Chain A
Amino acid sequence: MNLRLARRTNRRDWLRATGLGLGAFSASGWMETLSRLAAAETSAPGRKKRSCILLWMAGGPSQIETFDPKLNHENGAGVKPISTSATGIQISEYLPKLATVADDLTIIRSMKTNEGDHARASYHLRTGYKQNPALEYPTLGSILSRELGSETSAIPDFVSIAPNRDLNRGAFGPGFLGPKYAPFVVEANGGIARVQQQNESEDDQEQTPNLRVSNIDRPDDISNQQADARLEILSGLNDEFLKARPDRILNSYRSSYDRALRLMNSEARKAFDLDAEPDEIKEAYGRNEFGMGCLMARRLVEQGVSFVEVSLNGVRGDDFATWDSHGNHLDNIQQLCRVLDPAYAALIGDLKQRGLLESTLVIWMGEFGRTPKINDNDGRDHFPAAWSTVLAGAGVQGGQVVGKTSADGMEVTDRPVSVGDLMSTVCQAMQLDPTKQNMSNIGRPIRLADPEGQAISGILTDANG
Chain B
Amino acid sequence: MILIKKRVCPAIACFFLSATAVCPPVWSGDAAAEKPDMAKNLARFIDQQLEKRQQLELEGVKPANIADDATFLRRVSLDIAGRIPTISEVRDFLDDESPKKREVAVNRLLTSSGYSNHFARLFQKAFLPEQNDQFRFNAAYPSFFVWLRGHVEKNTPYDKLAYEMLTASTDSEEFNQFDFQDGPVTTASAQAFFVTREVDPARVATATARSLLGVRLDCAQCHDDPFNAWEQEQFWGFAAFFDDLDINIPNRPPVENAVVKGSIKIPETSITVRARFLNEPKAAEPEQGTYRQHLAEWVTSPENPYFAKMAVNRIWAHFFGYGLVEPLDDFSESNSPSHPEILDRLAAAFVESNFDLQFLIRTMTATKAYQRSSRLDSLQEIPVDLFAKTAVRQLSAEQMWASLGRAIGYARPLAFHEANAMQNGDVAEFLQSFQKASSLEDAEATILQALRLMNGDVTNRSSSATGEDGAVGGNQQTAMAVNPVFEPLVLTSLATFPGMDNKDRIEALFLATLSRTPTKAESKKLTKYIGETGDKTEQAQRLGDVLWALLNSAEFRFNH
Contacts and interface: CB of A to CB of B under 8 A. Distances in A.
Interface of A: 7, 11-12, 15-16, 18-21, 24, 117, 119-120, 131-136, 156, 166-170, 178-180, 182, 184, 214-222, 226, 229-231, 233-234, 236-238, 240-250, 252-257, 259-261, 263-264, 441-444
Nearest to A177: B442
Contact of A15 (B206, B384, B421, B452): B384
B383 interface: yes
Given A234-B553, A253-B557, A442-B218, A263 B393 contact: no
Interface string B535-560: 00000011001101110111101101
B475 interface: yes
B232 to A, nearest CB: 16
Contacts of A244: 375-377, 379
Given A245-B374, A246-B381, A441-B438, A180 B529 contact: no
B444 interface: yes
B47 to A, nearest CB: 20
Contact of B450 (A131, A238, A245, A256): A256
Contact of B422 (A7, A169, A221, A246): A169
Contact of A219 (B447, B460, B560): B460
Given A233-B545, A234-B549, A252 B444 contact: yes
B377 A21 contact: no
24 contacts: A15-B383, A21-B379, A24-B381, A117-B253, A134-B206, A134-B218, A168-B134, A178-B442, A216-B451, A217-B455, A219-B464, A230-B545, A230-B548, A231-B549, A237-B549, A241-B553, A241-B554, A244-B376, A245-B560, A249-B440, A249-B444, A249-B558, A254-B554, A256-B447
Interface string B129-141: 1101111100000
Contacts of A15: 383-385
Nearest to A246: B379
Contacts of A184: 447-448
B133 A169 contact: yes
B116 interface: no
B394 interface: yes
Contacts of A233: 526, 529, 545-546, 549
Contacts of A214: 429, 451-452, 456
Interface string B385-424: 1000001111000000000000000000000000001101
Most buried by A among B216, B381, B460, B548: B381
A180 B34 CA distance: 47
Contact of B452 (A215, A218, A248): A215
Interface residues of B, number: 85
B473 interface: yes
Contact of B554 (A24, A133, A215, A238): A238
A166 to B, nearest CB: 6
Contacts of B451: 214-216, 260, 263-264
B258 interface: no
Nearest to A263: B447
Contacts of B455: 215-219, 264
Contacts of B229: none
Contacts of B382: 19-20
Contacts of A167: 134-135
Interface in B87-130: 129-130
Contact of A241 (B454, B475, B548, B555): B555
Nearest to B475: A221
Interface of B: 129-130, 132-136, 197, 203, 206-207, 210, 216, 218-219, 251, 253, 326-327, 330, 335, 338, 374-377, 379-385, 391-394, 421-422, 424, 429, 433, 435, 437-438, 440-452, 454-456, 460, 464, 473, 475-476, 519, 522, 525-526, 529, 541-542, 545-546, 548-550, 552-555, 557-558, 560
A245 B545 contact: no
B10 to A, nearest CB: 20
Contact of B529 (A222, A229, A245, A263): A229
A86 B138 CA distance: 48
Most buried by A among B519, B545, B550, B558: B545
A264 B429 CA distance: 20
A237 B553 contact: yes
A263 B451 CA distance: 9
Nearest to A236: B525
Given A221-B475, A233-B549, A256 B445 contact: yes
Given A167-B135, A245-B560, A179 B435 contact: yes
A238 B555 CA distance: 7
Contacts of A133: 129-130, 197, 203, 206-207
A256 B553 CA distance: 12
Contacts of B549: 230-231, 233-234, 237
Contacts of B445: 249, 252-253, 255-256
Contacts of A257: 450, 454, 552
B447 A253 contact: no
Contacts of B554: 237-238, 241-242, 250, 253-254
A105 B437 CA distance: 40
A133 B131 CA distance: 10
Given A133-B130, A221-B464, 11 more contacts: A15-B383, A119-B135, A132-B218, A170-B133, A219-B464, A233-B545, A237-B554, A247-B392, A260-B450, A442-B216, A443-B327
Given A233-B549, A442-B216, A215 B392 contact: no
Nearest to A170: B133
Nearest to A18: B381
Contact of B424 (A166, A252, A442): A166
Contacts of A240: 519, 522
A237 B529 contact: no
Contact of B218 (A19, A166, A263, A444): A444
A241 B326 CA distance: 28
A238 B136 CA distance: 44
A242 B388 CA distance: 18
Nearest to A220: B475
B132 A178 contact: no
A220 B473 CA distance: 11
B545 A182 contact: no
A441 B443 CA distance: 12
Contacts of A12: 338, 383, 385
A219 B461 CA distance: 10
A231 B553 CA distance: 10
A237 B421 CA distance: 32
Given A214-B451, A226-B541, A253 B558 contact: yes
A173 B42 CA distance: 42
